[in-house]
Amino acid sequence: MTDAERLIARDDAVIAGVEKLRFFPLAVESGRGERLIEPGGRALIDLSASWTASGFGHGHEAIAAAIAHAAVDAPGASILSATHPSAVALAEQLIALVPSDLPPHARRVYLGHAGTDANDVAIRGCRHATGRPGILAFQNGYHGGLGTAQRISGVHVSAGVTADPAVAFLPYPDPYRPHTGDPATVVDDVLRLAAVELARGETAAVIVEPVQSDGGVIVPPPGLLAGLRALCDRHGAYLIVDEVKVGLGRTGRTHAFEHEGVVPDIVTLGKALGGGLPLSAAIGPAEVLDEPVASALMTTTGNPISCAAALAVLEIVRSGVATRNARERGDQLRGLLDEYVRSGRPGASRVGDVRGRGLSLGLELVADRRSAEPDAVLTAKAVYRAWQLGAVAYPVRGNVIELTPPLTISAEAIDRAAAILTAALDDAALGAVSDEEIAPFQGW
């Protein structure tokens, strides 16, 4: 038994299955930049960045230094019953970073542990501020893994989770589906449905991802966010934009909603915000986030170590270097994958689409390009084979390989990653991975 196999056996014996989403037998001992190191020393290119939570790479020197400094002289572990400078500074900087039509004194920041609680607090705050119960969300959307945030996540509800009793789900405009028609018409159809729901006068908020990540890396056609903004203004509902996965530079802009020039009422952040530590934020109006007082209590929220990491992250974001790299490396990776699709190699005909923005890319796999029938089995085998060859990537929506490497990834690593991915696709299409090999891994 190898060192990695021993670690996995120990994991099987003690770690709860309810928190496992596994696609291949990956065990990681350390990381540096875009590399993950397995027990035994094998290095892999990380094309997930822990679902973007390690968005600025593993062991980033500035983030690590900030964490170490904060841990030496930490002023407690909470903002629950006392404040401290790092939490206040972080909130001030988030208000400055996230655009709004409101003046700074009319805005507040909720600091949490994950996108789940940031979205939960935002939803509950909108309901309290408006006195309305209704929430408008989207099919296949993902806003959290527990509580209210899970129950308004279409991806969970479609898998059997009981929906929030006051949520209505709209179809997310997907220009990649066959026979969807003109993209502008698709958006107009969705906005008409939204208008009908909002006209009932019972909707507190609309919550939307600017790129639907776990729903298949769907970039909506232009007009969706702008149309929702206009409808929310007309009917007195709040617009919540969930930037937990694609925010802070990943799409080539600081905020993904900037691609449409829209200003949300509330923005939620998480994952990369903590530089690998648990941290999230909801930034929005004081009327939403101030009341009821003491209604969202978790002891270690706003802890100074996570806040110090986030302050280092925001300094990186403000410099613009990682955001520019996301744009350039995203173009590079997409170009290499598009070239593969045209190559005639064994797996190329099984790629239905390459899509996304910046370093949030999706590689959709199909039975054949003519029918565009999703092929979840091939996708599971392709990511398994990629792990065998030295890259880590995970599937979403069953048949889409999501590619979200650290925003600091180098051009050379992108070249190597594309070579591994395309070889994995060829091998999987040719039968290199058996059904038995992927059977132990339940994935989604």
Q: Which residues are catalytic?
A: 142
Record the tokens describing residue 102, joined without a space. 């409101």
Question: In the chain, what is the straight-line distance between the N-terminal and C-terminal CA atoms, in Å?
Answer: 28
**Given strand 203-208, what is the order of strands in its sheet?**
107-112, 280-285, 266-269, 238-242, 203-208, 134-138, 167-170
Cα(346)–Cα(325) distance, integer angstroms: 31
| HEC readout, the chain | CCHHHHHHHHHHHHCCHHHCCCCCCCCCCEEEECEEECCCCCEEEECCCCCCCCCCCECCHHHHHHHHHHHHCCCCCCCCCCCCHHHHHHHHHHHHHCCCCCCHHHEEEEEECCHHHHHHHHHHHHHHHHCCCEEEEECCCCCCCCHHHHHCCHHHHCCCCCCCCCEEEECCCCCCCCCCCCHHHHHHHHHHHHHHHHHCCCEEEEEECCCECCCCCECCCCCHHHHHHHHHHHHCCEEEEECCCCCCCCCCCCCHHHHHCCCCCEEEECHHHHCCCCCEEEEEEHHHHCCCCCCCCCCCCCCHHHHHHHHHHHHHHHHCHHHHHHHHHHHHHHHHHHHHHCCCCCCHHHEEEEEEECCEEEEEEECCCCCCCECHHHHHHHHHHHHHHCEECEEECCCEEEECCCCCCCHHHHHHHHHHHHHHHHHHHCCCCCHHHHCCCCCC
Cα(291)–Cα(38) distance, integer angstroms: 47
Record the tokens describing residue 70, joined without a space. 């904060």
Closest CA to 121 of 294, 250, 237: 294
Cα(323)–Cα(254) distance, integer angstroms: 7
Record the tokens describing residue 341, joined without a space. 């699709």
